[in-house]
Amino acid sequence: MAVPIGHFRAAAAKVADQVFAPWRQPPVAKRSAFQPIGAPGFSGVGGYISTPEDIGVSGSYHDWVRYRIYSEQVPIIAAAMRAYQNFLERAPWRVVAAGDDGASQNAAAWLSNAIEDAEQSLLEIIRWLAMARFLGFAISEWTAIRRADGTFGITNVAPRPQPTIERWDVDDHGNLRGVYQRAPSNGREVYLPRGKIIYLADAGRSDRPDGQGLLRDIANTAETFIRCARYHGIGIATDLAGVPMIGAPLSELTAAVNRGDISQADADRILSPFKQFARNHQRNVENALIYDSEVYRDLSDREAPSAQPKFKIDFMRGAGTAHRDVLDALRDAEARIARVLSTEFLLLDGRGSGSYALSRDKTSAFAMVVDAWLRKVADAINRDLVAPLWRLNGFSEETRPWLEAGSAAVRDPVDVAAAMRDLAAAGGGLDPDDPAENVIRQQLGLPARDSLSAALDAAL
């Protein structure tokens, strides 16, 4: 009896399914577009974020101590932080209204007054949050207060230092729900929900909640710099002052003690001034060499002594120039750190090279970095402070203003004047009432021109 070809194919397909089933991927369940599916790139247990060993910094309290050491013992890091903060302070800030209507203008004025009423100035808030560029993240906790007009304003925007943030409350998809802070005053752990904090992280290269941070990038190089600086200091001290070499008749004193001619206390008393000199030698790092300087005599009956004195203090000097190699290593580490921090302009002319044009170009590049971080800080404040405050008051979202940062770039007044001269020569000069004139006057250090004077000039 012939078997239908269709039955044969069905049976073969069933066998194939049973054979290859272990290697087949299970069907993907259909998910809604409104539900997350994936997972973050970091792992952690109990809120403690794990770090690969090759990074070398895990975000523990010990590592924050290392960060502080870097900023205190590596001059280029301290200078870069200071320059960064100085550039931050140059940038102007303003509250931008959502529209030209009266309600939007009133809302912008209300927000300006609410920010001014806070205990911390806007500049202090910005300066703290912007340090996320170096430390990986920054957190501030805001507290609301009922104002005299019945609305809810801001009473405090307090920084929450990075070493005190002990654990992170993150869901399975990497979304931050809050942080756990260990209070240094009493050791108690407190929970700060996400809606109560202004949070900014250096998340460009990592999705870790504690960010990456530049100090994490330069950790190994900073350790090298500190180690080389220590070696260089020792090398300079020993090469300039030398290692003390103290000659003393040790064998003769030992033989005298063994014969009973003198006591061990007497021998120690004889050597005491020389040992004290070795310990108190200040131009060294407590390195000294005490050697046996017993006088040598000839083999004749006269036993004529040699010219070698029994007690002698001299300095052993190194003939090499190893400390110069260490200095080169120091400069190399310093240059690498400056390159990562975008502050190479701080090193120009430090080695007898560089130019003003090159310095100005690198300074402009650094100002661009600062401007980028100013925008990040503004986004964090608008997202985590202005928006929750607006919802707390029940204000209309259509009138919600926002904070906007200006540029921290340093503009040369000569370049500004030359640009305006070229613009006027091309027939595109400024109108008498153009607000750009006052901006140019400010760059040149001149007083602003009032609108009445501009109107009179235009009439003439």
* DSSP secondary structure string for all residues of 417-451: HHHHHHHHHTT-PPPTT-THHHHHHHHHTPPPPPH
Residue 22 lies in a domain: no
Listed residue (224, 202, 203) closest to 336, CA to CA: 224
325 in any annotated domain? no
Distance from C-alpha of 347 to C-alpha of 366, rounded to nearest angstrom: 13
Same domain assignment for residues 212 and 354 = yes
Which DSSP category does 209 fall into?
A: T
Q: Give yes or no for residue 158 having a pLDDT over 90.
A: yes
Is residue 125 domain-resident? yes
Q: Are residues 183 and 55 in the same domain?
A: yes
pLDDT > 90 in the chain, percent: 38
**Of the residues 409, 432, 451, which one is the last residue of a structural domain?**
409
What phi and psi values does residue 157 have, to the nearest 5 degrees? -130, 85
Residue 149: pLDDT above 70? yes
pLDDT top residue among 57 and 84: 84
In a shared domain, residues 453 and 380: no
Average pLDDT over residues 23-44: 70
Q: Which residues neighbour 215 within 8 Å (Cβ) at sequence distance 6 or greater?
A: 57, 67, 70, 71, 77, 134, 135, 136, 222
Are 453 and 390 found together in one domain?
Answer: no
pLDDT at 51 over 60: no
Cα(47)–Cα(401) distance, integer angstroms = 35
- 326 inside domain: no
Q: So what's the pLDDT on residue 57?
A: 45
Mean pLDDT of all residues in 435-447: 67
214 and 345 in a single domain? The answer is: yes
Instruction: Output the pLDDT for position 54.
Output: 39
Instruction: Give residue 264's identity as a one-letter amino acid code.
Output: Q
Other beta carbons within 10 angstroms of residue 37's beta carbon come to 9
Q: Tell me: do 186 and 205 sit in the same domain.
A: yes
Structure confidence at residue 289 as a pLDDT band (50, 70, 90)? low
Question: Per the domain annotation, does 9 fall within a domain?
Answer: no
Q: Are residues 421 and 279 in the same domain?
A: no
pLDDT, position 290: 60
117 shares a domain with 66? yes
pLDDT single digits (tens) 213-269: 999 899 999 999 999 888 877 776 665 455 667 777 788 888 889 998 899 998 888
Residues whose CB falls within 8 Å of the CB of residue 76, separated by 6 or more in sequence, listed in order: 334, 337, 338, 341, 343, 346, 347
pLDDT at 53: 43
Enumerate long-range contacts of 107-114, CB under 8 Å, 24 or more apart.
107/395, 107/399, 107/400, 107/401, 108/401, 110/151, 111/386, 111/401, 113/153, 114/147, 114/151, 114/153, 114/154, 114/389
The mean of the pLDDT values for the chain is: 79
| Whether 209 contacts 170, CB under 8 Å | yes
- The answer to the question of residue 401 being in a domain is yes
Residue 146 lies in a domain: yes
Domains held by the chain: number: 3
Based on the fold, state whether residues 202 and 69 are members of the same structural domain. Answer: yes
Does residue 353 have a pLDDT over 60? no
Give the helix/strand (H/E) hosting 293: none
Residues 195, 48 share a domain: yes
H or E segment to which residue 332 belongs: helix 322-340
Q: Which of 438, 441, 432 is nearest to 459 (CA)?
A: 432
Pick the more confident residue, 448 or 112: 112
Distance of alpha carbon 242 from alpha carbon 214, whole angstroms: 40
On the question of pLDDT at 56 being above 50, the answer is no
Closest CA to 406 of 27, 90, 91, 1: 91
Do the domain assignments include residue 334? no
Question: Side-chain half-sphere of 420: how many Cα atoms within 13 Å?
Answer: 16
45 and 128 share one domain: yes
The whole domain housing 384 covers 38-218+341-409
Please tell me whether residues 424 and 376 are part of one structural domain. no
